[in-house]
Copies of this chain bind each other. A is one copy, B any other.
Amino acid sequence: MVESWSFLDTAESNFRPLVVIELAKGTKEETIEWFTKRIVDKKANGGAQLLIKPLVTENGVENIYLVGASHLRLLLGAETVGLVKECSDNSMRTFTYSSRKTFKHFADDNHNFLTMAECQYIIKHELENLRAKDEKMIPGYPQAKLYPGKSIVRRLLTSGILVQIFPLHDREELKKLCHSWYGRVKIGYQPLDDIRCYFGETIALYFGFLEYFTFALIPMAVIGIPYYMFAWEDYDKYVMFATFNLLWSTVILEVWKRICAILTYRWGTLLMKRQFEEPRPGFHGVLGINPVTGREEPVYSSIKRQLRIYLVSLPFVCLCLYFSLYVMMIYFDLEQWALDYHKENESNFSSLMLYVPSIIYAVVIEIMNRIYRYAAEFLTSWENHRLESSYQNHLILKVLVFNFLNCFASLFYIAFVLFDMKLLRQSLATLLITSQILNQFAESLLPYWLQKRYNRRMKKRMCSKKTDTDLSLAEQVNMEKEMGTYLGTFDDYLELFLQFGYVSLFSCVYPLAAVFAVLNNITEIYSDALKMCRVYKRPFAEPTANIGVWQLAFETMSVISVVTNCILIGMSPEVDALFPDSKMDLVLTVALVEHLLLAIKFIMAFVIPDKPRDIQMKLAKLEFESLEALKQQVRMQLHFLLIHH
């Protein structure tokens, strides 16, 4: 069992800083001493058994600490968090320290067995699981209450003593990654495995989805181009295009599940057991006994939460939706007024006035989105969800519904109330292209400018100091701690979701949408990559097995688009002309086609397996092995019992 492990690697000489802890200026000495002691203390004494070192800069100690861990400690941490790694026989297995020799690339002196992102994730996990024993409060801060089992780091964060914890960039690795990712203009796939090693699975999966989605849009774009070039206006062709689109969007969402399974199987997260979720930092309640863990922790009645959701949040969201529709109606009135004004007294001023309503509406929408986002965050936080995942789901749902309405309500109104297909096509094109240009500016040009400024600042510093390794580390930490924090993939997915809406909801009136989407996404990959590597602090890796609630959101959108496209085609004069005698027959035919398409969609989603056959096989093999192991155990037991009689 005990191998030739050298515990010398816990010595300072081998210390590799992984995570930075920034404490508030003026934090009391006794608090710092207590906190650092808890971090380095032995597991058996309730510590985290990590290594910690204050960062020394030319101004002296600045309440910034670097955290690392010995190689052995990291390996045992990998077992605790349940990392899944590849074995020598190419199968994926949960890593355990005792079976470490069976894993691919494992060697006692190979410190690259765990990627840096994994090491940082382990340290984050260990820090967050550093729990109060019998302390009633944080030493030096009597108002920061503790109870047995409370996560110390979370209490330090909520009471403002701990400013932030973030993982350090690895300059060497980042340079390599940047080069292979966006450093050269090339046609080809992104280095997803490298991205995953550096940024973790959640971010790699977002880029994987972005890339997949772009490739999936190409067939639609290719079919869409001739419609624009030859100005095909006959509805036979539009019907064909829309039908292809509807089935295609089902297929791509199903195939994505399979590709996602392939990626996450390779990364080990498909097999990784879900960790037991801790209460989220903002969660509060009366101290009670958690019925699941049997530990003392804040408890909040689920009925109270349900009441808050259904009696406050739901009406508020409905009110906001109503208000958004009301604003839209005002916009249409204003537009009508501007048109009338332009007709009556035609002048340069009046033709300029034509654009005013659209600009006002765009600005108002942007303001409403932002205010609503704050309100949604406040409300969801007030609902007091125990788990971060539940908080996220409720927030995403609220924001999604509002954004959907804000983006598409005017288009729905034009299509199904005004029945104006020309205006619909024009508005769709304007909205799509404007939003893409704005996004490109906010995500690509702005970061580029920020990077330039950052480079200048860095160069200035580098010139004034000697380029010592130790000093450059202090510089690096000081620079990184000022960088913005990446708030997760939410906004990136939301952008893709709305884009998918523009492409699919009205695909039969504007086939060119897919072309713009493809063009946008190609630059989006580069600008998002730049953002991740240069603009933001390195985020902690988050293991994940799928894109979660977004899969559902995209699927819902594709169901809605079946309905809208069927109605649009039914409303077209060309289809109308096919049923000269009876409007009834037309509507009934459209309804029948719609139901058929929906039925085909659901059958397709049911028939296409969510995991490719070889992944299914590998999962079955793992299950079979664990069952066999159990049987073997019973067999041994039986043998043993019989021998002793």
Contact = CB atoms under 8 A, between A and B. Distances in A.
A588 B620 CA distance: 50
Interface of A: 1-2, 5, 7, 42-44, 49, 72-73, 76, 79-80, 82, 97-98, 273-276, 291-293, 302, 563, 583-584, 587-588, 591, 595, 613, 617, 620-621, 623-624, 627, 630-631, 634-635, 637-642, 644-645
A43 B587 contact: no
B2 A644 contact: yes
Determine which residue in A76, A292, A645 has the highest number of CB atoms from chain B within 10 A of its CB, and name it: A292
Contacts of A591: 587, 591
B563 A595 contact: yes
A602 to B, nearest CB: 9
Nearest to A641: B2
Given A80-B631, A627-B276, A42 B642 contact: yes
A638 B587 contact: no
A627 B292 contact: no
Contacts of A624: 276, 292-293
A613 B43 contact: no
Contact of A635 (B44, B620, B645): B44
Given A2-B644, A292-B621, A302-B613, A639 B275 contact: no
A97 to B, nearest CB: 6
Contact of A5 (B5, B584, B645): B645
Contacts of A97: 634, 637
Contacts of A80: 630-631, 634
Given A630-B82, A644-B2, A637 B7 contact: no
Contacts of A1: 640-641
Contacts of A620: 292
25 contacts: A1-B641, A2-B641, A2-B645, A7-B645, A42-B639, A42-B642, A43-B639, A44-B635, A73-B638, A76-B638, A79-B634, A79-B637, A80-B631, A80-B634, A97-B634, A97-B637, A274-B623, A291-B617, A292-B624, A302-B613, A584-B584, A584-B587, A587-B588, A587-B591, A591-B591
Contacts of A42: 639, 642
A7 B639 CA distance: 13
Contacts of A588: 587
Contact of A76 (B273, B302, B634): B634
A533 to B, nearest CB: 34
Contact of A639 (B44, B623, B638, B640): B44
Nearest to A49: B638
B292 A638 contact: no
Contacts of A274: 623
Contacts of A291: 617, 621
Contacts of A563: 595
Contacts of A43: 635, 638-639
Contacts of A627: 273, 275-276
A641 B587 contact: no
A627 B5 CA distance: 27
Contacts of A276: 623-624, 627
A307 B532 CA distance: 47
B631 A292 contact: no
